[in-house]
Structure 1
C-alpha cells in the first residue's frame, strides 16, 4: 500500500526553500534595522507571504495537479501577463540558484581546500541529482537536512545564545542610533526569505489536494520564522552592529559573515557547527528552489516526466545559473535583493490577481478559498508594490544605507 505524504515532509520542503536565503542574507540586510525592527519586518513578511501562497492554491484548484504558473497564469490572466510572470519566476529562481551555487563554492573552497569554481561544479553535479530523481527524493533529503540543520543550529547557536550580550543585542551603547529607516531596505531580502511560491504547485501535486498543501505551507513558513528569530537573536547578540562593516563591504557574502562570526566565537566546535549549519542551509534551499524551478520549466517546455524528459529539464534548470556563477560571482545579499525586488510580481501581485479571477468564475466559490475577502487581496498587492519600490529606491541610493 502506498503511504500518504506526511505534513512534516511537505513543511520541511517549504522551510528548506526559505531558510537558505533568509539565514544567510538577513543578518547583513538587517544590520541597520537591528534586532527589534528586523524581527518586526520578518514577521510581517511571513504573514503576507503565507497568505499569498494560499491564494495560488485557490487559483490552482481549477486545474489538474501537474500545472504550474505558466499554464494557470496564461489561461486566467492572458498571454502578456503570463510572459511577464514567466520572466520574473525564472529570473528569481535562477538568481537564487546562482547565489547558492556561488556561496557553496566559497564555503567548500575553505573546507576542502580546492578551487572555488571546481567546488561549485561538484556541488551542482552531486546535489541536483535529488531534484532530477523525484519530489519524494527531495522530501526525504529535506527532512534529513532540516534535522541536520536543527542539530547543528542548536549546537552552534546554543553556543552563541549562551554568550548573548543584551547590550549588544539591543545596541544600548549607541543611544542616539536610528534603526527604523533601515528596515525599509530590508523588506526585499525578507520577502525572498519566504519565497517558496514556485513550490506551491509541487506541494499541491504532492498531496493531491489544496487543504493539506495549505497546512504544509503554514507549517513550513512557521518553521522558517522560528529559525530566523533564533538566528537573528544569536547573531545580533554576539556580533556588534559596528562589526558588520567588513561583511557589508563584501556584499554580505556568506564567507565574510562566517569570518566575522569566527572573530567573536571562542569555541572552535561552535564555529564548526555554525559552518556546518550554513552549508546545510544553502544545500537545503538549493534543492528546494531547484525543485520549484525544475517543475516550472518542465511545465513551460512540456517536457515529459521520463528519464529523458527530466534530463532535459535538469539541463535548463541548473546549467545556466552554474555558468553564470562561474563567470560573474558577486555579493550574496545583492543577488538576494534583486530576487526580492522582482519576486514581488509572482509572490504578491500575481497570486492576488489569480485569486480575484478565480472568485469571478462559476466554480470559484467552491472548494478552497482564502479568508479575508477582497481586503486581503488588496493588502497583499500593496505590500508587494511597496517592497518592490523599496528595493529600487535603495538601488538608487534614495533610502538610508547602513555601512557599519
Structure 2
C-alpha cells in the first residue's frame, strides 16, 4: 500500500504542474462552469485510457515499457510511431517545464532565465539518475510542501472571489481543449509504475484512479479561486505567460500570500518535471538498450535532459505553446494506443470513441 500511495502521488505530481498553472490562461473565455465540466470529462477519459495501457502492459513478457508495448501492439512500424510520439510528447513537456521553471525562478530570485533553466535541469537530472525510488521519495516531500502552499493560496484567494467573474465566459475557444487534455498527461509513466507496483493489477488501478481524481479536485478549486479573483480582461493582459499570471495574482493579494503563490507555482513545476523526466529516462534507456550502471545512466540522462534544455534556452517563453503541441503526441500514446488495443479485443465502440477524441484534440491544436 505504501508503494501504491507513492505511485498515486507520482501520477498526481506529474499531473499537477504546468497543466494546472496553464489552465486559467487557456480557459478564461470558457468561464468556470464550462471549463469544470470539460475537466471532469477529460479526467474520466484519462483514467479509462490509463487502465487500458496498464492492462496491456501486464500482458507483456518481461518488464513493461512503452517501447515493448508499441512493438507488441503494432509491430516495427508502430514501435517507431510510438517512439516518435514519446519523443515529441516528453521533449515538449520538458521544454515547457524548463521554460516555465526558468521564468518563475528568474522572477523570484533575480538571476537570468538561462542560469535558472540550467540549474533546474541539473537538479532534476541528478535525482532521476539515481532511481525511481529516489524520485518517489523526493516527489512525496515536494508534493506535501506543495499541498500546504496550495492550501495557503486557496485560503488567501477564496475570500476575494467575485461571483461576476465566475459567470463570465461561455465561449469555447479551440485552443483551450489541447491544454485541458494535456493537464491529465501522465500516461507515459504507466509502464514504469506497473513495474514499480510489481504487476499488481488492483493496486495499479487504485493508483491511477486516485492519482487522477486528486488533481481533478485541485484543478476545480484552482479554477474557482483564480477565475474568481481575476477578470477575463486581467487574464488577457498576461499574454499567455505564466510569470505574468503569477504576478497578477500576487499584485492583487500582497503580504504572505504572494510568496505562497510563488512557492506553489515553483513546486508544481518541479513535481511535474520529476514525473515526466523519470518516464522519459526509462523509455530512452529501454529504447537504446542503455545499461543501468553509472556510464549507461549518464548517457541516458544526457539524452533525456539536453534536448529540452537547449529548446528552452534558444526559444524562451514557449510555455503554453509547448503544452499545446504536446497534446498531439499525448493523443497518440494515451488514446490511439488503447484504441487499437480495444479493437484487438473486439471492443470496437470503445476504440472508435477514443479515436474520435484524438481527432478532436489534434484538429483543435492544428486549427489554433
Q: Could you tell me the TM-score, scaled by structure 1's length? A: 0.87
C-alpha deviation, 1:6, in angstroms = 2.6
* Alignment counterpart, residue 263 of structure 1, candidates 251, 262, 266: 251
The residue number in structure 2 matching 1:200 is 190
Deviation by residue 1:107-135 (Cα, 9 ceiling, x = unmatched):
11122221110111111112221111111
| C-alpha contact (below 8 Å) 2:250/2:261 kept by paired residues | no
Structure 2 residue runs without a partner (length 5+): none
| C-alpha contact (below 8 Å) 1:58/1:355 kept by paired residues | no
* Alignment counterpart, residue 96 of structure 1, candidates 89, 93, 100: 93
C-alpha deviation, 1:200, in angstroms = 0.2
SS at match of 1:23: helix
Distance 1:327 1:34 in 2: 34
Question: CA, structure 1 residues 128+65, in 2 after alignment: closer, same or farther (shift >3 Å)?
Answer: farther
* Alignment counterpart, residue 361 of structure 2, candidates 367, 370, 387: 387
* Alignment counterpart, residue 208 of structure 2, candidates 211, 217, 237: 217
* Alignment counterpart, residue 254 of structure 1, candidates 242, 247, 271: 242
Distance 2:164 2:72 in 1: 55
Counterpart mapping for 1:27-106 below 5 A: 27-64=24-61, 66-106=63-103
C-alpha deviation, 1:341, in angstroms = 2.5
Deviation by residue 1:339-362 (Cα, 9 ceiling, x = unmatched):
1133211110112213433x37xx
C-alpha deviation, 1:264, in angstroms = 1.9
| C-alpha contact (below 8 Å) 1:157/1:274 kept by paired residues | no
Distance 2:157 2:64 in 1: 44
C-alpha deviation, 1:105, in angstroms = 1.0
SS at match of 1:304: coil
Q: Which range moved further: 253-262 or 288-297?
A: 253-262
Q: Could you tell me the TM-score, scaled by structure 2's length? A: 0.96
| C-alpha contact (below 8 Å) 2:117/2:309 kept by paired residues | yes
Distance 1:223 1:158 in 2: 18
C-alpha deviation, 1:263, in angstroms = 2.6
Counterpart mapping for 1:5-404 below 5 A: 5-64=2-61, 66-171=63-168, 179-182=170-173, 184-209=174-199, 210-247=201-238, 249=239, 252-265=240-253, 267-357=254-344, 359=345, 373-394=347-368
| C-alpha contact (below 8 Å) 1:94/1:321 kept by paired residues | yes
RMSD: 1.5
Distance 2:179 2:190 in 1: 20
C-alpha deviation, 1:65, in angstroms = 5.1
